[in-house]
Amino acid sequence: MRVPLEIAFKNVEPTSAMETLVRERVDRLARYHRDIISCSVAVEAPHLSPSEEALGHRIRIAISVPGDEVIVSRDRSHQREQYDPYQAIREAFQAAEKQLRSFAGRQRRGRHPRVGPPHAVVDQLMPEEDYGFLSTPDGRNIYFHRNSVVNDGFDDLSPGDEVRFEERMGDEGPQASTVAPVGRHGHHELT
């Protein structure tokens, strides 16, 4: 973290064990998002008169990451029975970890879009010799053999058909090791 951790206790007698628990859980957050800028944690009990006993606690965790903030709030202040503040802290941090995992996953997907095998168009077919050529969007011609077409679909191919392919380097240059016809809406045709 770039900014030191902030811990606040309101209407709660802070203990060293409580503060240690908060610090340990904050340290674990780096497992779920490596670019945490700052974190603040507030532990509070509702304001009550001296004769009343606080039964539950509110925990608020604010985590600042590049471009956004993750906020978790757990309110157990309206419990009818005694509620352990340590348990409230653990539950709030479990929720924070889950949100950070989800947030980090969305960021990764946004940065690295999933890309499937490249597309090409069947350019030439030599059925009597069991091979053909694909024309790629970047203007290259890629050799492929009958055996590289999935589901024994070589005889079903025609010039102009769209396919997906896996490219490998062969003895005489690039070649398609796997060729799969693409059906309507970009789905593979399976026979």
Domain with CATH 2.40.50.140 in the chain: 119-186
Using alpha carbons, list the distances in angstroms from residue 59 to 40, 53, 172.
11, 18, 66
pLDDT band at residue 186 under the 50/70/90 scheme: very low
* Cβ-contact 137, 120 below 8 angstroms: yes
Domain with CATH 3.30.160.100 in the chain: 6-111
32-36, 78-82, 150-154, 176-180 — which is least confidently predicted? 78-82
Main-chain phi, psi angles of 68, to 5 degrees: -165, 175
Pick from 41, 106, 18, 28: nearest CA to 67: 106
| 53-111 pLDDT, tens digit each | 556 788 999 998 887 888 888 876 665 555 678 888 999 999 999 888 887 766 665 55
CATH superfamily of 119-186: Nucleic acid-binding proteins (2.40.50.140)
**Which CATH architecture fits 6-111?**
2-Layer Sandwich (3.30)
